[in-house]
Amino acid sequence: MPMRQMWNQMYEKDKGEGCGADAWLVDTLADATPGHALEFGAGTGLNALWLARRGWRVTAIDFADVAVAYLVAQAEAAALPVTAKVADITAYQDARAYDLVYMCYIHLEAEDQRKMLRSSARQLKRGGRMLYIGLTGVTNLPDHVDPASFASARTLAAYLPADMRLVRQHEARRRVPLSADEVIEEQGVLLEAVKL
């Protein structure tokens, strides 16, 4: 089954309602001055909507049209400044220079991960922040999932282009809600960088 179809089917069944924004994202950005943000792999928009409620103007990108349609409906219903688009996160570009580019739980094969981080760096204005939150060292993966797609903070940092300064890399065990009823505990990874 193609990946887009798989994710669309998942989002048709579960919109992530009840999960809320990612705790590490909330801790990192709670006191940040609002500006323009770009989210790669936004899904149904839990993080984008949280930021928009705090004054951020958010562009949210995902390749799953079911998720994007749900996010658009949620943002419109709450009159929040979120623009959601169906697009390829490894190659996305637009004319805006963003204050923040972030991605949560986007686990791609190594070359696509590198492309995504480089694409996100190109979208930042000077002094803009990049934030990556994910998992590393995940066990019990399905056969079709490459364990290397759950890269360590050190590996991810090596993918950053030369015009990005690493501010923080962190790994720790953490609980991650998959739905309102299901929580997993895995090794989390956080990478924060600033564009020079």
Chain-centroid distance of CA 45 in Å reads: 10
Cβ atoms within 10 Å, residue 175: 10
Helical residues (DSSP H) of 78-137, grouped into ranges: 110-122
In this model, does residue 7 exceed pLDDT 70? no
Tokens of 101: 């580019």
Residue 12 within a domain: no
| Gap between the terminal Cα atoms of the chain | 41
- Which residue in 103, 98, 123, 137 sits closest to 22, CA to CA? 103
Residue 138 within a domain: yes
- Residue 89 binned pLDDT confidence (cut-offs 50, 70, 90): confident
Q: What is the pLDDT of residue 10?
A: 65
Residue 173 within a domain: yes
Domain harbouring 35, CATH code:
3.40.50.150
Domain extent, residue 152, equals 3-7+18-195
What would the pLDDT profile of 158-195 be if each residue is shown by its tens digit? 999 999 999 999 998 887 766 667 777 778 899 999 99
Q: What is the pLDDT of residue 6?
A: 60
Tell me the CB-side half-sphere exposure of residue 85, using CA atoms within 13 A. 13
Residue 57 within a domain: yes
What would the pLDDT profile of 42-68 be if each residue is shown by its tens digit? 988 999 999 999 999 999 999 888 888
Lookup result for tokens 């390749």 = 63
Q: In angstroms, rounded to a whole number, what is the distance separating the alpha carbons of residues 137 and 174?
A: 13
Q: What is the pLDDT of residue 103?
A: 94
Q: Structurally, how many domains does the chain consist of? A: 1
Q: In angstroms, rounded to a whole number, what is the distance separating the alpha carbons of residues 54 and 33?
A: 9
Residue 72 within a domain: yes
What's this model's pTM, rounded to 2 decimal places? 0.88
